Amino acid sequence: MSLYTVQKLLYQLNRDRSVQQRYKDDFAALLEDYDLTGEERHALAAPDIGLLYVMGVNGQLLMHYAALCGFEWDQYISAMREGLAEHGSVRAGLYAATDDRGAVS
Amino acid sequence: MTLVYAGVCSHAPGITGRAQRADPALREPFYASFRQMGEEIRAQQPDALIVVAAEHFANFFMDNMPAYCMGMAEDYEGPIEDEQWLGIERRRIPGNAELANRLIERMLHDVDLAYAQEWKFDHGVMVPLHFLTPAYDVPVIPININCQGPPITPLHRAYEFGRTLRKACDAVDERIAVVGTGGLSHWPATPDSGKINETWDRTFLDRWLANDREALTSYSDEATYFDAGQGGFEIRTFIAVAGAAEGSTGELYYYAPIPIFAVGCTIARMHL
């Protein structure tokens, strides 16, 4: 359920302006409302877009979170590639990289 | 009256959000075809434009995910995304709740359709509207087919959904246009963003233009995921429009891979 919780946070953050205000005012307090692991809390707070990608966060949710965090398009793509290099293959979900060879091992 | 227009188009956020990074030799003819489709739709003086979209967790999440949902609101807001990021200003878009209500009632005879009286449009609807109804003066009725969070509806059900939609449109007095919007092969929001399987896309489009129901619905999700990426699941929107236009064949106005837009950009219509 934990990846689900990360994604639910991002879903609510992406669509709800009151949640966006809480993100700006006190992100740590917002995170307390969600049952997250230490790794998930770190990845969201850093933010570590590459790690969130490898965890399996749905790309449509992550794309907007990266934009909210100020990542330009090329930075965002690079962050996912760096995440693969550092943390290995995408662990869950549909948004695995392929490069014609399936998820990076 | 009846269905007065049926078409399909791309909706990738880069189409507006990263416009300046695209090769103008590809971008401008694509935009021109998009606008041509808009002119054709508006020339039909539709009372409503139904947009069959593949939403991306803007309104529907895995706590309560309908396979099919139709909007039934007086109006809508969009885009949900940052305006600068998408390159489209936030605004309200008129709906037609009363007409949607009648369509839903009719469709429930044949399909278990969810409805929503709140709906925020994401790029999947806003990018098409930016080109098709730039004055935002045509009432819109959104439909979402879940293409994002498996389990997802089988392709033959998407075709049947389109047939059901057509029956409902033909049963009301209003003039209705329908546009399906989605990607063909693409790997959006991954490090492979920009990868496009043009051969796969063109085969699919040949099937769509011929309105070959059997061929359109013969793809397995496993094969689509391998050949066309997770974005390929959005073919359900195209297949639904083919179902709505059963018996008709189509015309391709534009197709070209535009990698910075992360999709094979497509504009096509059925001749009803």
Q: Do residues B175 and B1 make contact, with C-beta atoms less than 8 angstroms apart?
A: yes
Contacts of residue B54, defined as CB under 8 A and 6 or more positions apart, other chains included, come to B124, B144, B145, B146, B147, B148, B181, B182, B183, B233, B234, B236, B237
CB contact under 8 A, A67 and B81: yes
Nearest to A81 among B56, B120, B191 (CB): B191
Contacts of residue A95, defined as CB under 8 A and 6 or more positions apart, other chains included, come to A53, A56, A57, A58, A59, A62, B189, B190, B230
ipTM: 0.92
CB contact under 8 A, A95 and B56: no
Q: How confident is the model at residue A105 (pLDDT cuts 50, 70, 90)?
A: very low
pLDDT tens readout for residues B48-91: 999 999 999 999 999 999 999 999 999 999 999 999 999 999 99
Average pLDDT, chain B: 97
Q: Do residues B44 and B5 make contact, with C-beta atoms less than 8 angstroms apart?
A: yes
Tell me how far apart the terminal alpha carbons of chain B are, to the nearest angstrom. 14
| CATH fold label, B3-271 | Protocatechuate 4,5-dioxygenase; Chain B (3.40.830)
Q: How confident is the model at residue A1 (pLDDT cuts 50, 70, 90)?
A: low
pLDDT at A87 over 60: yes
Query: Coil, strand, or helix at residue A73?
Result: helix
Q: How confident is the model at residue B1 (pLDDT cuts 50, 70, 90)?
A: low
- Structural domains for chain A: 2-87 (1.10.700.10)
Phi and psi at residue B144, to the nearest 5°: -115, 130
- Per-residue DSSP letter, A100: T
Q: What percent of chain A has pLDDT over 70?
A: 92
* Three-state secondary structure of A1-25: CHHHHHHHHHHHHHHCHHHHHHHHH
Structure token digits, residue B112: 């278990």
Side-by-side strand order, sheet with B48-53? B114-116, B68-71, B140-145, B48-53, B176-181, B3-9, B263-271, B249-258
Torsion of CA B186, B120, A74, A9, to 10 degrees: -100
CA nearest B133: which of B59, B68, B44, B209? B44
CB contact under 8 A, B190 and A95: yes
Q: What pLDDT is attached to residue A98?
A: 74
| Per-window interface: A 37-66 vs B, CB < 8 A | 53, 58-64
Instruction: Report the alpha-carbon distance of residue B26 to residue B14 in Å, rounded.
Output: 14
pLDDT tens readout for residues A22-62: 999 999 999 999 999 999 999 999 999 999 999 999 999 99
pLDDT tens readout for residues B137-166: 999 999 999 999 999 999 999 999 999 999
Query: What chain B residue is nearest to A50 in terms of C-alpha separation?
Result: B191
Look-up: residue for tokens 């739709």? B41
Chain B residues in contact with A58 by the CB 8 A cut-off are: 57, 148-149, 189
Q: Do residues B181 and B125 make contact, with C-beta atoms less than 8 angstroms apart?
A: yes
